[in-house]
Protein backbone atom coordinates (compact mmCIF):
# COMPACT_ATOMS: atom_id res chain seq x y z
CA UNK A 1 0.00 0.00 0.00
CA UNK A 2 1.15 3.52 -0.71
CA UNK A 3 0.78 6.71 1.36
CA UNK A 4 -1.38 9.22 -0.52
CA UNK A 5 0.59 12.12 0.91
CA UNK A 6 4.27 11.19 0.61
CA UNK A 7 4.11 8.13 -1.63
CA UNK A 8 5.99 5.76 0.74
CA UNK A 9 5.16 2.11 0.60
CA UNK A 10 3.86 0.80 3.94
CA UNK A 11 2.02 -2.14 5.46
CA UNK A 12 -0.63 -0.09 7.25
CA UNK A 13 -2.39 3.16 6.40
CA UNK A 14 -4.32 5.55 8.59
CA UNK A 15 -7.31 7.60 7.44
CA UNK A 16 -6.95 11.32 8.17
CA UNK A 17 -8.72 14.47 7.09
CA UNK A 18 -6.85 17.45 5.69
CA UNK A 19 -8.94 20.47 4.64
CA UNK A 20 -12.12 18.39 4.27
CA UNK A 21 -10.36 15.75 2.17
CA UNK A 22 -10.02 12.20 3.42
CA UNK A 23 -6.64 10.57 2.74
CA UNK A 24 -5.04 7.24 3.58
CA UNK A 25 -1.53 8.00 4.79
CA UNK A 26 1.42 6.39 6.57
CA UNK A 27 1.90 6.81 10.33
CA UNK A 28 4.51 9.55 9.92
CA UNK A 29 2.22 11.67 7.67
CA UNK A 30 -0.76 11.20 9.99
CA UNK A 31 0.45 14.15 12.11
CA UNK A 32 -0.41 16.55 9.24
CA UNK A 33 -4.14 16.01 9.54
CA UNK A 34 -6.77 15.16 12.06
CA UNK A 35 -8.22 11.72 12.64
CA UNK A 36 -11.03 10.78 10.34
CA UNK A 37 -14.20 9.27 11.73
CA UNK A 38 -16.83 7.63 9.57
CA UNK A 39 -20.16 9.39 10.07
CA UNK A 40 -22.56 7.32 12.11
CA UNK A 41 -26.26 7.31 11.48
CA UNK A 42 -28.90 5.97 13.81
CA UNK A 43 -31.26 5.02 11.02
CA UNK A 44 -31.78 5.23 7.28
CA UNK A 45 -33.97 8.34 7.57
CA UNK A 46 -31.16 10.30 9.21
CA UNK A 47 -28.78 9.14 6.50
CA UNK A 48 -31.00 10.42 3.70
CA UNK A 49 -32.50 13.55 5.26
CA UNK A 50 -29.87 15.87 3.78
CA UNK A 51 -30.06 14.38 0.30
CA UNK A 52 -32.14 16.48 -2.08
CA UNK A 53 -34.53 14.51 -4.22
CA UNK A 54 -35.27 16.02 -7.58
CA UNK A 55 -38.61 15.48 -9.16
CA UNK A 56 -38.91 13.43 -12.32
CA UNK A 57 -40.73 16.38 -13.78
CA UNK A 58 -38.22 19.06 -12.87
CA UNK A 59 -40.25 22.22 -13.45
CA UNK A 60 -38.25 25.37 -13.11
CA UNK A 61 -40.00 28.45 -11.88
CA UNK A 62 -39.17 31.79 -13.36
CA UNK A 63 -39.63 35.13 -11.61
CA UNK A 64 -41.87 37.50 -13.58
CA UNK A 65 -40.05 40.34 -15.32
CA UNK A 66 -41.71 43.25 -13.55
CA UNK A 67 -41.75 41.71 -10.07
CA UNK A 68 -40.83 45.00 -8.32
CA UNK A 69 -43.72 47.03 -9.70
CA UNK A 70 -46.08 44.09 -9.20
CA UNK A 71 -45.18 43.95 -5.50
CA UNK A 72 -45.40 47.74 -5.12
CA UNK A 73 -48.82 47.93 -6.80
CA UNK A 74 -50.21 45.08 -4.68
CA UNK A 75 -48.85 46.72 -1.51
CA UNK A 76 -50.39 50.06 -2.45
CA UNK A 77 -53.76 48.42 -3.22
CA UNK A 78 -53.75 47.17 0.39
CA UNK A 79 -52.86 50.70 1.58
CA UNK A 80 -49.67 49.51 3.25
CA UNK A 81 -46.41 51.35 3.62
CA UNK A 82 -43.20 49.52 2.96
CA UNK A 83 -42.41 49.37 6.69
CA UNK A 84 -45.88 47.94 7.46
CA UNK A 85 -45.43 45.22 4.83
CA UNK A 86 -41.95 44.44 6.17
CA UNK A 87 -43.34 44.06 9.67
CA UNK A 88 -46.23 41.87 8.47
CA UNK A 89 -44.02 39.36 6.64
CA UNK A 90 -41.09 39.64 9.06
CA UNK A 91 -38.51 41.04 6.63
CA UNK A 92 -36.45 44.22 6.73
CA UNK A 93 -37.75 47.36 5.09
CA UNK A 94 -34.44 48.00 3.30
CA UNK A 95 -34.49 44.50 1.78
CA UNK A 96 -38.06 44.93 0.52
CA UNK A 97 -37.15 48.37 -0.85
CA UNK A 98 -34.34 46.81 -2.90
CA UNK A 99 -36.73 44.10 -4.10
CA UNK A 100 -39.37 46.65 -5.16
CA UNK A 101 -36.75 48.65 -7.03
CA UNK A 102 -35.53 45.38 -8.59
CA UNK A 103 -32.01 45.95 -7.30
CA UNK A 104 -32.05 42.46 -5.80
CA UNK A 105 -33.79 39.22 -6.64
CA UNK A 106 -35.79 38.03 -3.63
CA UNK A 107 -35.12 34.66 -2.06
CA UNK A 108 -37.70 31.95 -2.68
CA UNK A 109 -38.99 32.07 0.92
CA UNK A 110 -39.58 35.82 0.61
CA UNK A 111 -41.34 35.33 -2.72
CA UNK A 112 -43.69 32.83 -1.11
CA UNK A 113 -44.42 35.20 1.79
CA UNK A 114 -45.15 38.07 -0.61
CA UNK A 115 -47.36 35.91 -2.85
CA UNK A 116 -49.38 34.67 0.10
CA UNK A 117 -49.72 38.01 1.90
CA UNK A 118 -50.35 40.19 -1.16
CA UNK A 119 -52.34 37.63 -3.15
CA UNK A 120 -50.16 37.86 -6.25
CA UNK A 121 -48.20 35.44 -8.41
CA UNK A 122 -44.51 36.22 -8.83
CA UNK A 123 -43.57 33.04 -10.67
CA UNK A 124 -44.43 32.21 -14.24
CA UNK A 125 -43.98 29.15 -16.39
CA UNK A 126 -40.69 29.27 -18.26
CA UNK A 127 -41.22 30.37 -21.81
CA UNK A 128 -40.83 27.53 -24.22
CA UNK A 129 -38.26 28.13 -26.86
CA UNK A 130 -39.84 28.39 -30.23
CA UNK A 131 -38.67 25.63 -32.46
CA UNK A 132 -37.83 26.72 -35.96
CA UNK A 133 -38.81 24.02 -38.36
CA UNK A 134 -36.70 23.77 -41.45
CA UNK A 135 -38.44 24.38 -44.70
CA UNK A 136 -39.30 21.22 -46.50
CA UNK A 137 -37.05 20.65 -49.43
CA UNK A 138 -38.61 20.50 -52.80
CA UNK A 139 -38.73 16.94 -54.03
CA UNK A 140 -38.42 18.15 -57.61
CA UNK A 141 -34.64 18.70 -57.43
CA UNK A 142 -31.85 16.36 -56.42
CA UNK A 143 -28.36 17.16 -55.19
CA UNK A 144 -27.03 16.62 -58.67
CA UNK A 145 -29.40 19.30 -60.00
CA UNK A 146 -27.83 21.88 -57.63
CA UNK A 147 -24.33 20.92 -58.73
CA UNK A 148 -25.22 21.44 -62.38
CA UNK A 149 -26.52 24.97 -61.78
Asked if residue 71 and residue 31 are part of one domain, the reply reads: no
Asked if residue 112 and residue 70 are part of one domain, the reply reads: yes
Residue 50 belongs to some domain of the structure: no
From CA 27, how far away is CA 4, in angstroms rounded?
12
**Tens-place pLDDT, residues 95-147:** 999 999 988 889 989 999 999 999 999 988 766 655 555 555 556 677 677 67
**Tens-place pLDDT, residues 51-97:** 444 444 445 678 888 899 999 999 999 999 999 999 999 999 999 99
The answer to whether 1 and 10 have CB atoms below 8 angstroms apart is: yes
Residue 88 belongs to some domain of the structure: yes
Asked if residue 115 and residue 72 are part of one domain, the reply reads: yes
Asked if residue 66 and residue 22 are part of one domain, the reply reads: no
Please, where are the H alpha helices in 101-142? Answer: 108-118
Number of domains in the chain: 2
Domain span at residue 87 reads 62-124
Residue 143 belongs to some domain of the structure: no
What angle in degrees, to the nearest 10, is found between the helix axes of 108-118 and 67-77?
A: 30
pTM score over 0.75: no
**Tens-place pLDDT, residues 5-43:** 888 888 888 888 887 788 888 888 888 887 766 666 555
Residue 84 belongs to some domain of the structure: yes
Residue 134 belongs to some domain of the structure: no
- CATH code for position 73: 1.10.260.40
Residue partners of 137: CB distance under 8 A and separation at least 6: none
Asked if residue 66 and residue 19 are part of one domain, the reply reads: no
Amino acid sequence: MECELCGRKTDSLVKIEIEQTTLEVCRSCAKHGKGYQEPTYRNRRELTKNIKHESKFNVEKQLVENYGSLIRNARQRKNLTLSELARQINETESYLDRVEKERTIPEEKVIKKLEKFLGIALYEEPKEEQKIEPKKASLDKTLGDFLEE
